[in-house]
Structure 1
């Protein structure tokens, strides 16, 4: 590795595939000459805690600012102006002449022996890529300069997870006294270029009351950057919209059985007494679809990141993958024909997750197992059994799948006495390797996953943010009221928390320095008039006052 003539190229597996460092099949790879020890797994450097940690840090190094700032130099050497000629000589970037494109015309060589010799030389030394650029490649903009330009453009809100030391909660009362079991801003809402408006923030209360509020995620002149406009139909008994149908005994209306389509037009719901999966149009609160394929109550739902496939789990121990129908650019319902029917659990399915990009559907059950299937073929891939202190299986109560395939599962094990359950959190890699586990002192009632962190809401009224890889606690935010739902806006600018008392807590990071307390310019759709239903984040949430009432 220290010889300048010994050129090494790292294969892609060094940046994404930790399993290649392990001799999983136990092949006989011989022994070391000096110590005679058997050659098995690859020995890792001291700075790597595990194979997964080595790959993660290696990828971070590849994507770091130092590599980005020197990327243009590599392009010059391989494809650009320093590949050939005087600049190549100055950069010590000269190779054997036969490796360069067009240096030798093999078809013009009549002597077969000479031609085969040149072919062998080319095969041995390799070939230099085509020269694409004659001028030096411009350097990439540094992250610092990119941040400055973005701040000048004033178009995006700050990332909450880059400022975890500046979190501040603000409260909005949606339905006082009714637990807020769902609060989410759909990811891919269609915006009009003619009418300047805001996104839709969808809420569902425990009594089935639906709210479609206006949400403006970023206005630098407003405290904490957001504007929330309460849906006026929520407070008016004549215009209130509710989920239709009765729910089965033992099923609590929660985020487990409620999913909003990515364009914010449809609400998919389970838990109904007739074992159906229902589709409700959010704008009118009208039932537009009802599918009965499970033979028992639907207990959980999940939507993939693109909003194309929905997965449902049931007390009948099966899971079904559905396709979300599109009409024009909008979601219109569910295809009545299932894409896949997935089986394997012995008891009720309690939670599901799906990633179409990674072709994996994951389900958790009361039998204490996680089962992974492929989405396209419905093929069984593997079963995971989260570890526990007891030989008895701990039921899986929460499940999320990340963009890189990390599987986060929450388990609960019944204690010897009533109400003394033991809770744990586990993280697996995309290939089912257990990365970390931690015991929890509080019951988790809401779970949400972002690229680097796990957000937990607890029955004891706390919001915890933990590191995805180590599960170490990064931030604990006391809210003093039981948490029923947690979600993150698509810009990662705010955390939306639904509480047991009906309040919506909007957690943001910091506050614009140029805005003074009490001096807020209310601008909504180009209007400066005061609207009683509009909140610009002035009401900061004080959990001490709430707990004392």
Structure 2
């Protein structure tokens, strides 16, 4: 550590996996004071200057005592030009011993990173996108957009994250996909931002929804006791395909959203498929079944778009003793996670199907607990919601648990309401409940980040748009609610129409004055 010609670089875990810094075995390692994050941010440019910038070479490097053996620098030695094999091997050994200096990327000083306060202030001045809802939790408002299917629960409402737009169609609407409990499919137009209206967004309802002859439905019938829900449905990131389970023949089906027709039909489970999940990139899909198994499937690609599923699963995962109730998957972290009626969560690897860990959430009751919902965070956090069977009251019936990527239990909190749907962002957990509320919790503490937002009826679906600009909420009465942040006082309200750039289609804008959703407080 004291060798002046040796350099110690940070291992990758420093940047994404803080668990390794925790002294879980309780060894006496003394104490050390780590610099505060704001201090690190304020001096980060100095490190960049040394490693990648103008202080890497030349007089500035000499002045900064940042000079290394000449063989370590890019382009200093052309090994291919050395004919003498002995000399070349000697130089290769020297380079291997001293390491290699990174490429010099900058010839001028790197600017100082903005503080969190200044960055927030600058973002607030920009008008190219809607405010991030999670950075403006004290300004949240609910807007009623449309009744998608009156009286029929809206079980899925999502804006797929990787929709393709060519240069010509930049600025055109994204597709917002909805699925109702009766299988009615909708592909609506969605623009997350328009500074001319107080909602910050515009939405155009799919005209086929209201046309009996043009309506598209998810093909059935469905197995007895299975309801079409957000657990049995998942949509490809490019917005082209809908994957569905719950069918009477135990099949996993692939439906084209544009045509409303089944283009894939695979039966590998020996009982009904109860839950599905896709990874963020749309590479792998995981299915869980009443047969107690999970299967990992590869999503096929054609022309840059999802085209279906491989006919055979990549992995068949075992370990549960009862029906699998919920699944989650992260290709980046090689994690396939499943929860079951037997009260366990099991973690497997995707690529090898290797069993990694079984987790049993804590429960004070002697009654069995079911894993009702789960999700995996971007850093591998496992968020689990459990339900204790047989309790007539809500007290201590529901709980939420947080585990690290390694399965270490971090925290648990009781819930006063029954969770119907759950999703996770970088720092928050968003819950929809049977008791008609939308809740946003801090991911680390599982405590409420803001007061629950009342909804008039139970919540059946929750999703966060890709810009983190809105939360889409599907209700039991078929309404779509959009939760956004802020309402600038300088914009005018009312009904607006504008022509999209390079588009002949007109989008009907809705105003906050006419659409703000203010149900009475739940009792």
Q: Name the TM-score class by shorter chain.
A: 0.7 to 0.9
1:315 alignment partner in structure 2: 290
Indicate if the aligned counterparts of 1:495 and 1:508 stay in contact, CA closer than 8 A: yes
Q: By how many angstroms is 1:235 displaced? A: 1.1
Q: By how many angstroms is 1:199 displaced? A: 0.6
SS in 2 for 1:535: coil
1:488 to 454, 464, 476: 464
C-alpha distance in structure 2 between counterparts of 1:254 and 1:467, whole Å = 26
1:182-220 per-position Cα deviation (integer Å, ceiling 9, x unaligned): 101111111233345211111111111111111011111
1:64-96 per-position Cα deviation (integer Å, ceiling 9, x unaligned): 4x43443332344456555677656765x378x
1:522 alignment partner in structure 2: 497
Q: By how many angstroms is 1:534 displaced? A: 5.1
Paired residue total: 497
1:354 paired with 2:329, answer: yes
C-alpha distance in structure 2 between counterparts of 1:84 and 1:285, whole Å = 61
C-alpha distance in structure 2 between counterparts of 1:133 and 1:214, whole Å = 42
1:164 paired with 2:137, answer: yes
> In structure 2, do the counterparts of structure 1 residues 228 and 8 end up closer, same or farther at CA, with 3 Å as the change threshold?
same
1:101 alignment partner in structure 2: 70
1:422 to 389, 397, 400: 397
Structure 2 unmatched ranges of 5 or more:
73-92
1:301-342 per-position Cα deviation (integer Å, ceiling 9, x unaligned): 000000111100000000001111111122111111111100
> In structure 2, do the counterparts of structure 1 residues 133 and 302 end up closer, same or farther at CA, with 3 Å as the change threshold?
closer
Indicate if the aligned counterparts of 2:196 and 2:492 stay in contact, CA closer than 8 A: no
2:76 alignment partner in structure 1: none
C-alpha distance in structure 2 between counterparts of 1:448 and 1:165, whole Å = 20
1:178 to 140, 149, 152: 152
> In structure 2, do the counterparts of structure 1 residues 332 and 74 end up closer, same or farther at CA, with 3 Å as the change threshold?
closer
2:519 alignment partner in structure 1: 543
Q: By how many angstroms is 1:155 displaced? A: 3.1
1:406 alignment partner in structure 2: 381
1:456-483 per-position Cα deviation (integer Å, ceiling 9, x unaligned): 0110111110000100101121113110
Taking the TM superposition and a 5 Å limit, the aligned residue runs for 1:93-132 are 93=65, 100-101=69-70, 129=101, 132=104
2:83 alignment partner in structure 1: none
Q: By how many angstroms is 1:344 displaced? A: 0.5
SS in 2 for 1:438: strand
Q: Which moved more, 1:521-530 or 1:372-381?
A: 521-530
SS in 2 for 1:233: helix
2:406 alignment partner in structure 1: 431
1:73 paired with 2:49, answer: no
Q: By how many angstroms is 1:243 displaced? A: 1.1
Structure 1 unmatched ranges of 5 or more:
27-38, 47-53, 104-118
Q: By how many angstroms is 1:141 displaced? A: 5.4
Indicate if the aligned counterparts of 1:226 and 1:536 stay in contact, CA closer than 8 A: no
Q: Which moved more, 1:254-263 or 1:384-393?
A: 384-393
Q: Which moved more, 1:342-351 or 1:185-194?
A: 185-194
> In structure 2, do the counterparts of structure 1 residues 358 and 7 end up closer, same or farther at CA, with 3 Å as the change threshold?
closer
2:109 alignment partner in structure 1: 137
2:166 to 182, 192, 201: 192
Q: By how many angstroms is 1:20 displaced? A: 3.6
2:80 alignment partner in structure 1: none
C-alpha distance in structure 1 between counterparts of 2:183 and 2:273, whole Å = 17
1:344-392 per-position Cα deviation (integer Å, ceiling 9, x unaligned): 0000000000000100100000000000000000000010111111244
1:504 alignment partner in structure 2: 480
- Calculate the aligned-residue CA RMSD, in Å: 3.5
Q: By how many angstroms is 1:137 displaced? A: 2.0
> In structure 2, do the counterparts of structure 1 residues 42 and 168 end up closer, same or farther at CA, with 3 Å as the change threshold?
farther
Q: Which moved more, 1:172-181 or 1:77-86?
A: 77-86
1:40 paired with 2:27, answer: yes
> In structure 2, do the counterparts of structure 1 residues 490 and 18 end up closer, same or farther at CA, with 3 Å as the change threshold?
closer
Query: Quick check: which has more Rg, 1 or 2?
Result: 1
TM-score by length of 2: 0.85
SS in 1 for 2:161: coil
1:224 paired with 2:199, answer: yes
> In structure 2, do the counterparts of structure 1 residues 74 and 539 end up closer, same or farther at CA, with 3 Å as the change threshold?
same
> In structure 2, do the counterparts of structure 1 residues 163 and 45 end up closer, same or farther at CA, with 3 Å as the change threshold?
farther
> In structure 2, do the counterparts of structure 1 residues 76 and 234 end up closer, same or farther at CA, with 3 Å as the change threshold?
closer
2:85 alignment partner in structure 1: none
C-alpha distance in structure 1 between counterparts of 2:99 and 2:266, whole Å = 59
